[in-house]
Amino acid sequence: MSSSTPDALLGPADVRELAAALGVRPTKQRGQNFVIDANTVRRIVRTADVRPEDVVVEVGPGLGSLTLALLEVAERVTAVEIDDVLAGALPATIGARMPERAERFALVHSDALHVTGLPGPAPTALVANLPYNVAVPVLLHMLDTFPSIERTLVMVQSEVADRLAAPPGSKVYGVPSVKANWYADVKRAGAIGRNVFWPAPNVDSGLVSLVRRTEPVKTTASKAAVFAVVDAAFAQRRKTLRAALAGWAGSAVRAEAALVAAGVSPQARGESLTVEEFARIAENRNTGNDSTGNDSTGNDSTENEEQAQQ
């Protein structure tokens, strides 16, 4: 840990004064809610298991509350900020409040969804208070773009945290759950109260821990192919997979053939499947393509009956 002074982190008065000096007003458009409690950001760093050798990437650093807490512990921190004013001010804030660690900080002024590279060593951890409106796309993009990220801790809207960490069979298990699990073992890691933010959001927040899989999902299908099955399955989540995957496979008959070949019941629904089962379905997409001479439309009687029941 660095020798930074106890008041190096930002408190409520510091955040408001800094924002006022910069003319910054948090916007809903970018999901900006600044953390104003030093104990909270230190708790996030501890929960993230940030280590002295870590190279941390942070998305949406805002005024720098979490950034400073990360710099207390990590070897290096790279922050990705889209806001022009915030990006311009953050290096000066780091230099003023934690000068002995300033050389270990780097800023990337960009939309995190478009970032394909970072300066310096490859990141080993991702720690972020993610903007609520783009939390899942940003998380998945970063995990996909930077396979060196071993550990991730993100703060997101509580409902999003529940979805990300939901197991198969849960009512909130869906696309974010499956796609996150493609990359990592995912779990809820705590809750964050509204009063540690400025402005206070209208929703609760949750911490989600993601630890990169030691071995990737074993499949011959590409990630894109697997994710296409996932998207199709949950686009019509109340339908059986036989009906929901009819468009993806070309017909309900072909969907059933792929499901049977994958060892999945055609009457099952997407919310009951693991990522490995989705991968097996993707592997068997072409099963049964020539099994009949009249299934190209997908309008077989069984599919019509299923759709009439929804």
- Consult the annotation and say whether 129 binds a ligand: yes
Confidence class for position 26, pLDDT limits 50, 70, 90: low
**pLDDT for the residue numbered 297:** 39
Average of per-residue pLDDT across 68-86: 97
Q: Which residues contact 277 (CB under 8 A, 6 or more apart)?
A: 262, 263, 264
- Consult the annotation and say whether 247 binds a ligand: no
Domains of the chain: 6-212 (3.40.50.150), 223-302 (1.10.8.100)
**Cis bond upstream, residue 52 (ω within 30):** no
**How, if at all, do strands 105-109 and 205-212 pair?**
unpaired
**pLDDT for the residue numbered 28:** 57
Whole-number Cα distances in Å, 286 to 19, 181, 253, 270: 57, 25, 11, 19
Check pLDDT > 70 for residue 31.
no
What 8-state DSSP symbol labels residue 290?
A: T
Confidence class for position 200, pLDDT limits 50, 70, 90: confident
- Consult the annotation and say whether 111 binds a ligand: yes
Q: Which residue has the higher pLDDT, 232 or 28?
A: 232
**pLDDT for the residue numbered 310:** 36
- Consult the annotation and say whether 195 binds a ligand: no
- Consult the annotation and say whether 60 binds a ligand: yes
Burial status of residue 52 (CB atoms within 10 A of its CB: 0-12, 13-18, 19 or more): exposed
Span of 16-30, 70-84, 172-186 with lowest mean pLDDT: 16-30
**pLDDT for the residue numbered 302:** 41
- Consult the annotation and say whether 231 binds a ligand: no
Q: What is the model's pTM? A: 0.88
Average of per-residue pLDDT across 176-203: 93
- Token pair of 43 as six digits: 């708790």
Check pLDDT > 50 for residue 7.
yes
Check pLDDT > 50 for residue 180.
yes
